[in-house]
């Protein structure tokens, strides 16, 4: 992994290079003009993790940079891991950058907090809340907790301590984010060590785009796969009569339910099930109590939204998606998106196509695609 080099003056250039690559790689699907959503050029990541490097009396934040050396005579390449010291990190939110030195200053000469600390994770929000997780290679006792509570008060953040088979939550295991989207405010519980969108401004753009492309769908229902903590579910619920959303992670499902309640949404059911099992349930090939409770026959699914991990969709899920009038596909991996589109464009055509610069200064791209069934 290369650590991103942030050069705000070159932001437009790096984004245009990405947009050009996406236009070129997807030209064979004849999509409409690419809609490009920029990120703030710096301080865009709300969550970051750093290794803690101890050197004599000092300690600092570090990341590993992995480089490949020239191949040897047989052509096999070697990977080298270099420790890179980070006194600040322009990729991370301003809140994380403000906390970084304050946290180290508080820990440096404090044996209880410092001993065998090897990783720090920051989770911050646009709403101003911050959670810091300190991860240790030693068990955490009462003395640690008392000291960590003092640190919590001093920094004005919430602290969690983690060690092998231990998780000490001093205040809360989550933050509350508030995102303004099209003049509305959505609130989201974001749980520590669980998936949340890393770039909050880009998340607002994605929610705006997804709401726009699904507007006017109230006569039908939405089925959502990979719903996580209900990020899109909360933003899109009012565009549909009813929504059925599924997700594999127990923590994320619980969080999605919290988020629906917090946003006073009552037309959504969230179920815990893998996308693959859910595809089978929708086809009538999987039964059981949970599936029976959903009363799938009572839905009229006109739209499906998927936001899978980097691996994209498997063959069975693609086949399942082909049955809906409209498909909204959010993807963090253009390669697997293109593979899936080979299949999906047999039955549907692309009517909206967006690039969200979720990960500036890296080659990674987040895309949004709306597909509508061919007549």
Ligand X SMILES: C[S@@+](CC[C@H](N)C(=O)[O-])C[C@H]1O[C@@H](n2cnc3c(N)ncnc32)[C@H](O)[C@@H]1O
Identify residues 75-104 at the interface with ligand X (CB under 6 A): none
Three-state SS for 106? helix
Q: Which of 201, 247, 258, 357 binds ligand X (CB under 6 A)?
A: 247
Q: Which is nearer to ligand X, 89 or 232 (CB)?
A: 232
Residue corresponding to tokens 């987040």: 366
**Residue 117 CB, nearest distance to ligand X (Å)?**
28
The annotation status of 105 as a binding-site residue, yes or no, is: no
User: Could you say whether residue 50 binds ligand X (CB under 6 A)?
Assistant: no
Question: Which backbone phi and psi does 274 adopt, to 5 degrees?
Answer: -70, 155
CA 91 – CA 94 distance, rounded (Å): 9
Our CA angle for 132, 196, 207, nearest 5°, is 135
Q: Strands 158-163 and 166-169, how do they pair?
A: antiparallel
CA 210 – CA 197 distance, rounded (Å): 15
**Residue 250 CB, nearest distance to ligand X (Å)?**
10
> Which two three-digit tokens encode residue 124?
């911050």
User: Could you say whether residue 309 binds ligand X (CB under 6 A)?
Assistant: yes
Q: Among 12, 72, 58, which residue's Cα sits nearest to residue 38? A: 12
Q: Given the residues 192, 224, 366, 367, select the one marked as catalytic.
A: 366
Q: Is the dihedral of CA 191, 196, 199, 204 positive or negative?
A: negative
Q: Which is nearer to ligand X, 67 or 274 (CB)?
A: 274
**Residue 232 CB, nearest distance to ligand X (Å)?**
5
Active-site residue flag, 367: no
Output helix, strand, coil percentages for the chain, rounded to the nearest 5: 35, 30, 35
The annotation status of 342 as a binding-site residue, yes or no, is: no
The annotation status of 299 as a binding-site residue, yes or no, is: no
Q: Which is nearer to ligand X, 113 or 248 (CB)?
A: 248
User: Could you say whether residue 307 binds ligand X (CB under 6 A)?
Assistant: yes
> Which two three-digit tokens encode residue 117?
């600390």
Q: Which of 80, 274, 295, 323 binds ligand X (CB under 6 A)?
A: 274
User: Could you say whether residue 356 binds ligand X (CB under 6 A)?
Assistant: no
User: Could you say whether residue 304 binds ligand X (CB under 6 A)?
Assistant: no
Q: Which is nearer to ligand X, 80 or 310 (CB)?
A: 310
CA 110 – CA 108 distance, rounded (Å): 6
Q: Which of 152, 249, 302, 325 binds ligand X (CB under 6 A)?
A: 249
Q: Is the dihedral of CA 141, 144, 146, 151 positive or negative?
A: negative
Q: Which is nearer to ligand X, 307 or 357 (CB)?
A: 307
Active-site residue flag, 365: no
CA 284 – CA 367 distance, rounded (Å): 31
**Residue 332 CB, nearest distance to ligand X (Å)?**
6
**Residue 256 CB, nearest distance to ligand X (Å)?**
9
Q: Given the residues 48, 332, 365, 367, select the one marked as catalytic.
A: 332
Q: Among 200, 188, 193, 302, which residue's Cα sits nearest to residue 244? A: 302
Q: Which is nearer to ligand X, 152 or 339 (CB)?
A: 339
Q: Which of 44, 61, 195, 324 binds ligand X (CB under 6 A)?
A: 195
CA 132 – CA 159 distance, rounded (Å): 5
Question: Which backbone phi and psi does 278 adopt, to 5 degrees?
Answer: -65, -40
- Applying CB under 6 A, the residues found at the interface with ligand X are 195, 197, 226-229, 231-232, 247-249, 252, 274-276, 307, 309, 332
Active site residues: 332, 366
Binding site feature residues for S-adenosyl-L-methionine: 197, 226, 231, 247, 307
């Amino acid at each position: 992994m290369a650590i991103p080099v942030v050069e705000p003056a070159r932001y437009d250039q790096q984004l245009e290079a990405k947009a050009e690559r996406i236009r070129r790689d997807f030209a064979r699907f004849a999509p409409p003009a690419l809609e490009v959503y920029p990120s703030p050029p710096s301080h865009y990541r709300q969550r970051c993790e750093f290794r803690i490097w101890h050197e004599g009396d000092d300690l600092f934040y570090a990341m590993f940079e992995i480089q490949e050396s020239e191949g040897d005579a047989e052509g096999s390449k070697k990977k080298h891991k270099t420790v890179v010291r980070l006194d600040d990190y322009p990729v991370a939110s301003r809140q994380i950058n403000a906390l970084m030195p304050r946290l180290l200053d508080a820990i440096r000469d404090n044996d209880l907090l410092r001993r065998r600390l090897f990783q720090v994770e920051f989770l911050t929000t646009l709403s101003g809340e911050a959670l810091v997780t300190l991860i240790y290679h030693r068990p955490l006792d009462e003395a640690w907790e008392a000291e960590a509570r003092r640190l919590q008060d001093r920094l004005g953040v919430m602290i969690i301590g983690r060690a092998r088979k231990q998780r000490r939550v001093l205040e809360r295991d989550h933050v509350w984010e508030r995102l303004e989207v099209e003049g509305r405010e959505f609130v989201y519980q974001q749980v520590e060590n669980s998936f949340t969108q890393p770039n909050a401004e880009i998340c607002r753009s994605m929610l705006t785009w997804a709401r726009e492309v699904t507007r006017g769908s109230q006569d039908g229902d939405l089925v959502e796969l990979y719903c996580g903590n209900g990020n899109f579910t909360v933003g899109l619920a009012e565009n549909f009569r009813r929504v059925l959303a599924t997700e594999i992670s127990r923590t994320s499902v619980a969080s999605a339910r919290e988020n629906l309640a917090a946003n006073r949404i009552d037309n959504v059911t969230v179920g815990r099930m893998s996308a693959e099992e859910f595809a089978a349930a929708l086809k009538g090939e999987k039964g059981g109590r949970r599936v029976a409770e959903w009363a799938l026959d009572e839905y009229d699914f006109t739209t499906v939204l998927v936001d899978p991990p980097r691996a994209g969709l498997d063959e069975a899920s693609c086949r399942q998606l082909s049955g809906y009038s409209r498909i909204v596909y959010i993807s963090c991996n253009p390669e697997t998106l293109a593979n899936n589109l080979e299949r999906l464009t047999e039955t549907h055509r692309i009517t909206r196509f967006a690039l969200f610069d979720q990960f500036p200064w890296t080659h990674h791209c987040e895309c949004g695609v709306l597909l509508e069934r061919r007549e």
